[in-house]
């Protein structure tokens, strides 16, 4: 049964644009939530993987379409951060997009090899300050990623100088960390968990607003001295092009929130290392505005640029 105002052309599928390749966590979230939304809207939701430019190609594809709700953009931290570090990314999330709501967050883990002498973030920070090391490094999937910002945040708040080692994607980072080719790394929870479970790496910190159930002993960043109240979760949300009818946006928001409330949906996402963290569109705007201020501060202080 169609929800009021859910869509024009009810026989046409809704395209859900994902800026990353099939098989990753973003793709999984889109497919699980999109399928359930489709059931509630009475229309099929088809995921389109439009990889490239840190999600910006997918965003531009939605912005180039009509503002009729037939194209949904799955955005997140990159939607806000990439335009800050890359002048070529011409997108303003507040002006160009209308929020449907937040779906999930993905905790990031600051990890070191199993044989590292550091057991906590405060141990590491104390050591770096004492020894004055300028060569301790941390690896991330690339410049301007949230993992990069996580390391830059630690440098800024703790007044240390870890060196950033950008990889071209994250596939090899965990293996290089285990092999001690790098000193530390910022990993998403789903990538880190197999190595943590096998005892090959250790987690020093979690970026999210809460401790993760899988690692109850590991402090979140906001619990550390000098980081009070700070959180830097990777987040994933849905948007449509600005100007989309309010009735359509409201119907999509309702369908998304109902989808995320389903036990089987929550179980699938949580089993993959993704935290279900629903927000309506209004609360998402408030959340992103506050996070954007933190991103800007980190980017400016760390002189992060993709130029």
For residue 6, name the pLDDT band (cuts at 50, 70, 90).
very low
Whether the per-residue pLDDT at 78 is higher than 70: the answer is yes
| Number of neighbours of residue 150 by Cβ within 10 angstroms | 22
Query: Domain residues of the chain, as ranges?
Result: 14-105+234-297, 108-223
Q: What is the pTM of this model?
A: 0.88
pLDDT tens digits, 28-74: 999 999 999 999 999 999 999 998 888 899 999 999 999 999 999 99
- In the prediction, which pLDDT does 53 show? 85
Q: Could you tell me the fold of the domain covering 14-105+234-297? A: D-Maltodextrin-Binding Protein; domain 2 (3.40.190)
Let me know if the fold of 14-105+234-297 is the same as that of 108-223: yes
Whether the per-residue pLDDT at 83 is higher than 60: the answer is yes
- In the prediction, which pLDDT does 201 show? 97
Q: Could you tell me the fold of the domain covering 108-223? A: D-Maltodextrin-Binding Protein; domain 2 (3.40.190)
Pair 34, 47: CB distance under 8 Å: yes
- In the prediction, which pLDDT does 130 show? 87
pLDDT tens digits, 250-273: 999 999 999 999 999 999 998 888
């Amino acid at each position: 049964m169609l929800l009021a105002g859910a869509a024009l052309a009810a026989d046409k599928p809704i395209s859900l644009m994902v800026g990353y390749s099939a098989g990753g966590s973003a793709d999984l979230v889109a497919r699980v939530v999109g399928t359930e939304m489709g059931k509630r809207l009475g229309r099929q939701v088809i995921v389109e993987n439009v990889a490239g430019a840190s999600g910006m190609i997918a965003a531009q594809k939605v912005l180039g379409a009509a503002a009729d709700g037939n194209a949904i953009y799955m955005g997140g931290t990159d939607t806000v951060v990439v335009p800050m570090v890359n002048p070529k990314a011409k997108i303003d999330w507040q002006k160009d997009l209308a929020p449907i709501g937040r779906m999930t967050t993905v905790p990031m883990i600051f990890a070191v090899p199993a044989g590292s002498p550091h057991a906590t973030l405060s141990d590491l920070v104390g050591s770096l300050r004492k020894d004055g090391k300028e060569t301790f490094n941390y690896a991330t999937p690339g410049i301007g990623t949230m993992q990069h910002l996580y390391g830059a945040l630690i440098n800024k708040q703790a007044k240390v100088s870890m060196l950033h080692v950008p990889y071209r994607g994250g596939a090899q980072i965990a293996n290089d960390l285990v092999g001690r080719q790098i000193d530390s790394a910022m990993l998403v929870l789903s990538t880190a968990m197999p190595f943590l479970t096998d005892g090959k790496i250790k987690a020093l910190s979690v970026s999210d607003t809460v401790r993760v159930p899988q690692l109850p002993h590991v402090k979140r960043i906001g619990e550390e001295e000098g980081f009070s109240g700070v959180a830097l979760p990777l987040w994933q949300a849905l948007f449509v092009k600005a100007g989309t009818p309010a009735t359509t946006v409201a119907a999509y928001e309702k369908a998304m929130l109902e989808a995320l409330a389903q036990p089987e949906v929550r179980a699938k996402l949580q089993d993959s290392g993704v935290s279900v963290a629903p927000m309506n569109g209004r609360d998402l705007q408030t959340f992103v505005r506050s996070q954007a201020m933190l991103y800007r501060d980190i980017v400016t202080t760390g002189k992060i640029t993709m130029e």
